[in-house]
Amino acid sequence: MDGKYIMRQPGASDAPHPLLVTEDTGAFVDLLVRSPPGQDLMGVSEMASYKDFMKLWTETTGVSSEVREITVEELDKAIPGGLGREYGESSANSAEFGWGKDLVLPKDVSVSMKQMDVC
């Protein structure tokens, strides 16, 4: 091993995925309560690709990293009991199809919502 951190994920490494800072949960609830009816608010701190996340990981920790695409079956073997398959299928599906065209992100509702600078 050369000291590199390798994240193995199904799906394209440059597809955006939701990242959540748990401390933001209260702000998401506040935004949801104040938002107009019928709006689909996605409680997410930032949308970022695994590739960008690992770039930030390397910059923050000083440990070299990369993302390698694997199959859902490989993840299912790595994380037994069905969790690997569930997570792998979810990740691969969102990488291929996205999260929905009508979703509203917190930053689109309130300029006061802080955003992580992942990208």
Domains of the chain: 5-98 (3.90.25)
pLDDT at 99 > cutoff 70: yes
Q: Considering the chain, what is the average pLDDT of its residues?
A: 86
pLDDT of residue 40: 84
pLDDT at 116 > cutoff 50: no
Q: How confident is the model at residue 110 (pLDDT cuts 50, 70, 90)?
A: confident
User: How many CA atoms, within 13 angstroms, populate the side-chain half-sphere of residue 27?
Assistant: 18
Mean pLDDT of 42-66: 93
Report DSSP letters for 18-59, one per residue: EE--GGGHHHHHHHHHHSPTT-EE---SEEEEHHHHHHHHHH
For 110, phi then psi, to 5°, come to: -140, 125
